[in-house]
Structure 1
Amino acid sequence: MLKVGITGGIGVGKSVVSRMFALLGVPVYDSDARAKWLMRHDEALRQELIGAFGHETFTETGDINRPFLATLVFNNLERLEQLNSLVHPHVGNDFANWAASYADTPYVLKEAALMYESDAWKQMDQIITVYAPLDVRIKRLLQRDPHRTEADIKAIISKQLSEEERMSRADHILYNDGKQLLIPQVLKLHAQLSAAPASAK
C-alpha cells in the first residue's frame, strides 16, 4: 500500500482534489481536521498544549480557544513552531494507525497543507502538489472568505512555502488553474497510483 501525500498552498483546491479521489474510493486522511480533533480529544496532547500555552488554550466547555491561539501564533514564528512541534507528532502517529487499517488498499492519501514544514513527507512514498496561480487563489479565497481582504490573504500566503519549492519536490503536479481540466488529471493519476507497486518511491 502506497502512502501518498497531497499538498499545496491556501486556495489551490487541495480539498476539492481530495474529494475527487475519495469519490473514486481512495481513503483520504484530512490532517487539518484530525489535528483539530486530536487537540480536542487526545488528553496527552491537551496537557502538552496547556503546559506550553496555559489553560486559556481551551474554553470552559473544553473546545480549542481558536481566537486565543491565532492571536498567539500568527505573528510569532517561535510560538507557531512550538505549537506545530506539539501537534504534528500526534498527527503523524494518528495517521500511521489510520493507514495500517487500509493495508489491502492500493494507496491512501494524506492531505496536509504543511506537508514539508511538519516533516509529514517523510512518512509518504509519493507526493502530489496541487497548483494554481496566485491571482486565481486570491480570487477563490475572496469568494470563499468574504471577511478577508486581499492583504490578509497575501499575508497568509507569504508565510507558506513557495509554490516553486512545492512543485520542485513533488512527484506529481495537478493543475487546478481553471485552464486545464482537473478531472482527467485526477483519473489518470488514480490509475497510475492504483497500478504502482507498494515499494515505488
Structure 2
Amino acid sequence: MLKIGITGGIGSGKTIVCKMFEILGVPVYYADERAKWLTNHDLQLRKEIKELLGRQAYDEHGQYNRKWVAAQVFDNPELLKMLNSLIHPRVFADTDQWFLQHQHKPYTLREAALMNAAGDKNDFDSVIVVSAPVGLRIERIRKRDPQRNEEEIKAIIDRQKTEEQFASIANHTIMNDDEHLLIPQVLALHEKLTQQA
C-alpha cells in the first residue's frame, strides 16, 4: 500500500480534493480532525495539555477550548512548539493504527497542513500539494469564515509555508485555481497512483 501525503495552504481546497478521492474509494486520514478528536478523548493527552496550559485549555463542558488555546500560542512560538510536541506524537501513533486498518487498499491519503517532503521524517511514498493563488484563497476563507477579517486571514497564511515551499515538497500538484478543472486532475492522479501501487 502506498502512503500518500496531501497538503496545501489554508483556502487551497485540500478538503474538497480529499472528498473527491474518498468518492473514488480512497481512505483519507484527516490529521487536524483526528488531532481535535484526540485532544478531547485521549485522557493522557488531556492531562498533559492541562499541565502545560492550565485548566482553561478545556471549557466548562470538558471540551478542548480551541479558541482560547489558539490565542495563547498564536504569538508564542515556544509554547506552540511545546503543545505540538504533546499532540503530534499521539496523532502519528493514531495514523499508524489507521494505516494498518487500510493496508488492503492500493493507496491511502493523509491530509495535513504541516508536512515535509516524502521520506523527510515521514514514511510517505509521495506528497500531493493542492495549490491556489493567495488572493483566491483569501476570498474563499472570507466566504467560509465571514467572522474573520482579511488581516487575520493574511496572518494565518503568513505563518504557513509559501507556495514555493509547498511546490518544493510536491511530487504531484493539483491546481485548484478556478482555471484548471479539478475532477480530471483527481481522476488522472488516482489512475496513476493505483497503477504505481
Task: Calculate the TM-score normalised by the size of structure 2.
Answer: 0.95
**Residue 60 of structure 1: CA displacement?**
2.7
Written as runs of structure 1 = structure 2, the 5 A alignment for 1:68-107 is: 68-107=68-107
Residue 55 in structure 1 maps to residue 82 in structure 2:
no
Is the contact between residue 4 and residue 108 of structure 2 (CA under 8 Å) also seen in structure 1?
yes
**Which residue of structure 2 lines up, in the alignment, with residue 116 of structure 1?**
116
**Which residue of structure 2 lines up, in the alignment, with residue 165 of structure 1?**
165
Residue 12 in structure 1 maps to residue 12 in structure 2:
yes
Is the contact between residue 8 and residue 129 of structure 2 (CA under 8 Å) also seen in structure 1?
yes
Runs of 4+ with >3 A deviation: none
Residue 67 in structure 1 maps to residue 82 in structure 2:
no
| Percent of matched pairs sharing the same residue | 49
Is the contact between residue 115 and residue 121 of structure 1 (CA under 8 Å) also seen in structure 2?
no
| Distance change in 2, residues 1:35/1:159 (3 Å) | same
Aligned equivalents of 2:85 and 2:170: distance in 1? Answer: 23
Is the contact between residue 6 and residue 127 of structure 1 (CA under 8 Å) also seen in structure 2?
yes
Aligned equivalents of 1:60 and 1:154: distance in 2? Answer: 32
Is the contact between residue 27 and residue 108 of structure 2 (CA under 8 Å) also seen in structure 1?
yes
Aligned equivalents of 2:123 and 2:56: distance in 1? Answer: 33
**Residue 116 of structure 1: CA displacement?**
3.0
Written as runs of structure 1 = structure 2, the 5 A alignment for 1:39-50 is: 39-50=39-50
Aligned equivalents of 1:126 and 1:74: distance in 2? Answer: 30
Residue 137 in structure 1 maps to residue 144 in structure 2:
no
**Which residue of structure 2 lines up, in the alignment, with residue 35 of structure 1?**
35
1:114 is paired with a residue whose SS is coil
> Unaligned stretches of 5+ in structure 1?
none
Worse overlay, 85-94 or 59-68: 59-68
1:37-67: CA deviation from partner (whole Å, max 9, x where unpaired): 0000011111111111112211232100122
RMSD: 1.5
Aligned equivalents of 2:121 and 2:110: distance in 1? Answer: 10
1:61 is paired with a residue whose SS is coil
Aligned equivalents of 1:10 and 1:177: distance in 2? Answer: 13
> Unaligned stretches of 5+ in structure 2?
none
Task: Calculate the TM-score normalised by the size of structure 1.
Answer: 0.93
Is the contact between residue 121 and residue 127 of structure 1 (CA under 8 Å) also seen in structure 2?
no
Aligned equivalents of 1:183 and 1:149: distance in 2? Answer: 31
Residues paired across the two proteins, number: 196
Is the contact between residue 5 and residue 127 of structure 1 (CA under 8 Å) also seen in structure 2?
yes
Worse overlay, 120-129 or 8-17: 120-129
